[in-house]
Structure 1
Amino acid sequence: MASWGKLTFAQKNCVSATGKLMQKTEMVSHGSRIGLAISGGVDSFLMLKVMMIRQAIMPFPVELMVLHINPGFEPESHTPLVDWCAQNGIPAHIELTDFGPRAHTDENRKNSPCFYCSMHRRKRLFELCRDYNLSHLAFGHNADDNVVTFFMNIVQNGRVAGLSANEPFFDGNLQVIRPTMLLEKKTVIKAAKQWELPIWKNICPSNGATKRDEIHDWLRTMWQTDKRIKNNVFNAITRQQVDLTSKKV
């Protein structure tokens, strides 16, 4: 039996769907050095677990490194991640910032708190990728995130676009990847619970009250009476975004 043990149906789905997307988009290659942006939430922690399994399955070597930017609401919240990484032998950079509290002060008058905080955290992640000579930065976005982003761009920006599975930044010196973008949120949650990942709660004051939450609630209302609507929306947007970043043969 493999070192990760016997997998449940949800866990197998996560591992296989991630592998399928990685292969279709030629996401990584021999010697890739992948920074995993881990917030401590269910999506990113699930990605971390799945990517460790994929690392063992891949026919070529890749390196993984955890990158955690603590926004500063609870300085010790990342302790479970530190312990988990140590137990599983994965290198990690853990950094405490004040981005979250600053996003809710007068310093940030023009933007939403989420935009301000995420902008600063992403900038810092890019800097860490440069400092550690990483070739890839991976985010744990899933299919639900892709759909919500797609509709947010239509409503707020007049743009038809979701999330890219594999996208070059800085003249191709860094690839931003989303290995778990084919997974539905419910599958992510189920698999994460089965793996007993030490996820912690998001205590940001804006959690649950953002424009993204509003769009997600609207979508749930739209498809709650007919599951086919949800499946069709997910499939259409997922296919479009994956096809945009798939390698042509």
Structure 2
Amino acid sequence: MELSTKPKEKIEFNKLQKKLRRLTGQAIADFNMIEEGDKIMVCLSGGKDSYTMLEILRNLQASAPINFSLVAVNLDQKQPGFPEHILPNYLEAEGVDFHILERDTYSIVKELVPEGKTTCGLCSRLRRGSLYGFADQIGATKIALGHHRDDILETLFLNMFFGGKLKAMPPKLLSDDGKHMVIRPLAYCKEKDIEKFSKMKEYPIIPCNLCGSQENLQRQVIKDMLQKWDLEYPGRTDTLFTSIQNVVPSHLADTSLFSFTELEKKKTNLIVLTLFLYRTYL
């Protein structure tokens, strides 16, 4: 897409692109997301996040010290009115290797989910299964998803408020069957930066009319809460994200992560050690 030729806007764009590149590169390095010879299946939905992910990965690929390939994959879920031409036209113009995977998951979701109920859960499971299967077909070693920092924080609070679990969305994940490695290169990137970058690039955004338009979703409630915090208490969401990178199991209450029953034994051992040192050096 054509970018503005105004010097001020061009400088702003370059600055934002460098920021996204730096944060994405940092996440890739921190979690060893990409290795020599990897074939990365970049899942492209037509939304701002996946467009940005593809752009930044292509940008990094050009200067990376290792060799890896990228292939964009879009899952056409056969939603009524889905503009099938947009992504192929865009990817062909950009010279990106791509596949359009056609699976009628829309009909399955509409048939199984009662009217008025949230469709996201079933939709995401069907989508994930289709993408995992296709990754095997094309020999992809990694599956890249466009989730960003805000998605991770929203998932943390969704699990706490509605699932009773202290669990977020990992930047790197091995699938339950052990066959697929999922990576989230935008894990350190803020949604507002991605949205701004996307607008500057003028990506041909394709809205999700199946679940994205549903009102009062639990995730939207959490998103609104975090955005309000960010406005009223600048830096709070930054601190929240830092907290999930600094977990202290001994100060939580999960007995499978920390042996609280061993504390008495530890206390006794410390007393014995203290007495030994006292008698030895006095």
TM exceeding 0.5: yes
Amino acid at match of 2:113: N
Deviation at 1:169, TM superposition (A): 2.5
> 1:247 corresponds to which residue?
none
**Corresponding pairs, count:** 235
**Does structure 1 residue 8 correspond to structure 2 residue 14?**
yes
Unaligned runs of 5+ in 2: 1-9, 248-282
Amino acid at match of 2:224: D
> 1:139 corresponds to which residue?
145
Structure 1 residues 184 and 205, CA gap change in structure 2 (3 angstroms):
closer
Deviation at 1:76, TM superposition (A): 4.3
SS in 2 for 1:102: helix
Of residues 146, 154, 162, the one that matches 1:156 is 162
> 1:218 corresponds to which residue?
225
**Does structure 1 residue 165 correspond to structure 2 residue 171?**
yes
Deviations 1:134-158 (A, max 9, x none): 1000000011100000001111221
Structure 1 residues 126 and 205, CA gap change in structure 2 (3 angstroms):
closer
> 2:238 corresponds to which residue?
231
CA contact (8 A) 2:118 2:214 kept: no
> 1:200 corresponds to which residue?
206
Deviation at 1:231, TM superposition (A): 2.9
Unaligned runs of 5+ in 1: 242-249
> 1:48 corresponds to which residue?
54
Q: After TM superposition, list the pairs within 5 Å mapping 1:64-143 onto structure 2.
A: 64-74=70-80, 76-105=82-111, 107-109=112-114, 112-143=118-149
**Does structure 1 residue 34 correspond to structure 2 residue 40?**
yes
Poorly superposed stretches of 4+, deviation over 6 Å = none
Amino acid at match of 2:243: A
Amino acid at match of 1:34: I
> 1:187 corresponds to which residue?
193
RMSD across aligned C-alpha pairs, in angstroms? 2.3
Structure 1 residues 78 and 11, CA gap change in structure 2 (3 angstroms):
farther
Structure 1 residues 139 and 205, CA gap change in structure 2 (3 angstroms):
closer
Structure 1 residues 156 and 205, CA gap change in structure 2 (3 angstroms):
closer
Worse-superposed segment, 129-138 or 107-116: 107-116
Structure 1 residues 224 and 172, CA gap change in structure 2 (3 angstroms):
same
SS in 2 for 1:147: helix
SS in 1 for 2:108: helix
Amino acid at match of 1:140: G
State how far apart, in whole Å, the 2-side matches of 1:132 and 1:174 are: 13
CA contact (8 A) 1:35 1:136 kept: yes
Deviations 1:222-244 (A, max 9, x none): 4432213233223323x359xxx
Deviations 1:14-41 (A, max 9, x none): 1111011101111111110110111111
State how far apart, in whole Å, the 2-side matches of 1:89 and 1:220 are: 36
